[in-house]
Structure 1
Amino acid sequence: MGKDSKAKDSGAKGKGKQAASGSDENASKGKGKGGKAADGLGTCTYVKARHILCEKQGKINEAYKKLQDGWLSNGDKVPPAEFAKVAQEYSECPSGKKGGDLGWFPRGKMAGPFQEVAFNTPVGVTSAPFKSTHGYHIILSEGRKN
């Protein structure tokens, strides 16, 4: 279990650093308090996200490879419409039929690692695969607000 949290933390943070510079303007659209939390990470009340959920690690890795091959390996952000196509193909969650769209959800609604990754992934950034009690996930952060 300790291995999962280490992999999740380093993967999510690595991806966040890669594209954080382009997300500042979207992340601070809420109440715009500025200051040290201008990127909105960890301070927002609501997040809008899409996700892919798979029971097996191999399947989530396949989905992530598809995202890497198309966008991430070039340093590009995955367009929401393209993430939605991959979610429809791979996700085993009922939200997969809607392109993995979870809409807006408040802090405290999602369990443990899922909430942590969702609220710490910059807008427009795709998380690395990580494990929760429900299976393996990839999250695309689409927005933040207070």
Structure 2
Amino acid sequence: MGKDPKSSGGKGKGKQAAGGSDDGASKGKGKSGKADGLGTCAAAPMHILCEKQGKINEAYKKLEDGWLSNGDKVPPAEFAKIASGYSECPSGKKGGDLGWFPRGKMAGPFQEVAFNTPVGVTSAPFKSTHGYHIILSEGRKN
């Protein structure tokens, strides 16, 4: 619902370093503060939020064992199952779906990872002021 239909399924790089990509496809920011070539106005990530680093690492291990270690992209439905079981955010009840939000609505590292993770790719765990996160980028639009 409201998601980019091109974001589900398929093979490809699944492991994503927070804030950048393994293959160099992510560009730096220009003077406008917008990421080049990745879309800039709104993002639709799914996420897992945990207070403790050990718990987010456990969730990430499940993603690695199921898909990322094989170079696969995590299917949104499977990410949602893991989010429902691990996320401490109220969005966990919705499989971690945050819906669409504009650039500038989320703070610091979360926004950076949400807008710099290529669509369909899962981020590595990262820390924000709210705890530890993993993001699956489902869509981006201008």
TM range (shorter): 0.7 to 0.9
Quote the Cα distance in structure 2 between the aligned partners of 1:98 and 1:84.
Answer: 7
Distance 1:63 1:16, change over 3 A: closer
What is the TM-score when the length of structure 2 is the normalising length? Answer: 0.73
* Larger fraction in helix: 1
Distance 1:76 1:22, change over 3 A: farther
SS in structure 2 opposite 1:15? coil
Give 1:40 shift. 3.3
Distance 1:63 1:81, change over 3 A: same
Asked if the contact 1:50–1:139 (Cα under 8 Å) also holds between the matched residues in 2, the reply is yes
1:62-93, Cα deviation, whole Å (9 max, x unpaired): 00000000000000000000000000000000
1:16-44, Cα deviation, whole Å (9 max, x unpaired): 887999999999999999999x9832634
Q: What 5-or-longer segments of structure 2 have no aligned partner?
A: none
What is the TM-score when the length of structure 1 is the normalising length? Answer: 0.71
Q: Which residue of 2 aligns with 1:67?
A: 63
Asked if the contact 1:27–1:39 (Cα under 8 Å) also holds between the matched residues in 2, the reply is no
> Is residue 50 of structure 2 the alignment partner of residue 54 of structure 1?
yes
Q: Which residue of 1 aligns with 2:103?
A: 107
Distance 1:80 1:65, change over 3 A: same
Give 1:127 shift. 0.1
Asked if the contact 1:26–1:123 (Cα under 8 Å) also holds between the matched residues in 2, the reply is no
Asked if the contact 1:130–1:136 (Cα under 8 Å) also holds between the matched residues in 2, the reply is yes
Q: Provide the aligned length of Structure 1 versus Structure 2.
A: 138
Quote the Cα distance in structure 1 between the aligned partners of 2:120 and 2:101.
Answer: 17
Give 1:107 shift. 0.0
Distance 1:88 1:108, change over 3 A: same
Quote the Cα distance in structure 2 between the aligned partners of 1:86 and 1:22.
Answer: 23
Quote the Cα distance in structure 1 between the aligned partners of 2:126 and 2:2.
Answer: 12
Distance 1:97 1:124, change over 3 A: same
CA RMSD of aligned residues (A): 9.4
SS in structure 1 opposite 2:74? coil
SS in structure 1 opposite 2:119? coil
1:117-139, Cα deviation, whole Å (9 max, x unpaired): 00000000000000000000000
Moved more, 91-100 or 22-31: 22-31
Q: What 5-or-longer segments of structure 1 have no aligned partner?
A: none
Distance 1:139 1:11, change over 3 A: farther
